[in-house]
Amino acid sequence: MKIVFYWVLAIIITFVAVIYQRKTGPTYDRKVEVSIDNKSYNFKLVRSHGGAQDFKLDLIVPNKDISGVMEYRKFPTNNAWAKIEMKRQNGNLSGILPHLPPAGKYEYKITLIKSGREFPLNDGQPVIIRFKGDVPKGILIPHIFFMFFAMLLGNLAGIMAIFKHQKFRFFTNVTVIALFAGGMVLGPLVQLYAFGELWAGVPFAWDLTDNKTLVAFIFWVLALVMNRKKERPVYTIIASIVMLAVYSIPHSMFGSQLNPETGEIIQGWIQLFF
């Protein structure tokens, strides 16, 4: 029964972390709501686009009396806003942003219009969308799986270490394997396909996603080494706490960004709230 308790607690912690990542990550769609003539409309403003095509935003607006305007400019710049009328297609209002190279960004905002009245989405604040290359599903899906599987195993190992269960060392070892596969092998491959760089962490650059994965991996390797010949649960507990701290940092918060003037990829802050 203790094993079941440990697993359930680890699953709950991991599930909460996954929800937190989805809600705080700056590249996940931003959900917005607007009310027009007492009718609520809910939309998702996309903040990440992969592939070599232009980005097309579709908003489901069946009411043909409602039109829309999209404004955008490259980020980060102080350029004048380009303004386009959104086209109506099959009950949708559609706007297109021209393609940018990987790590290029636009900030864009949408305003709906009905009978001369304007209804800005997201309280009139722009959202930032980052372009990236296509990442093969055969790399992306295993990467995501192993990263969250590593967190589940790490939580389990930490809980077992707290209660001094004899199997905490086994799950410490398995956590290292899963984190190595997801973060140190598949992670760089995702980065390579998305932004053309295999590794953007130290000592080459300051990409936060790469660096925080590296920090977590170092602590888990330390826990593995320190527990090889003698049980030292404190190292596994520390490693699990570090991993939780790492996962509490919103994904891609300080990620690759294209300098709009030089065309070089740099590391830049991705705004969380706009």
Band the pLDDT of 269: cuts 50, 70, 90.
very low
> Are residues 118 and 140 part of one domain?
no
Burial class (CB in 10 A: 0-12, 13-18, 19+), 156: buried
> Are residues 165 and 263 part of one domain?
yes
End-of-domain residue from the set 109, 132, 155: 132
Q: Where in the sequence is the domain holding 116, given as residue range(s)?
A: 30-132
pLDDT digits (tens, 9 = 90+) for 42-75: 999 999 999 889 999 999 999 999 999 999 999 9
**Among 113, 272, 102, 115, CA closest to 193:** 102
CA angle at 1 for the pair 150 and 243, rounded to the nearest 5°: 20
* Biggest CA pair distance of the chain: 76
Band the pLDDT of 40: cuts 50, 70, 90.
very high
pLDDT digits (tens, 9 = 90+) for 224-257: 999 999 999 999 999 999 999 888 876 655 556 6
DSSP 52: S
Phi, psi at 32, each rounded to 5°: -135, 160
Structurally, the chain folds into a number of domains equal to 2
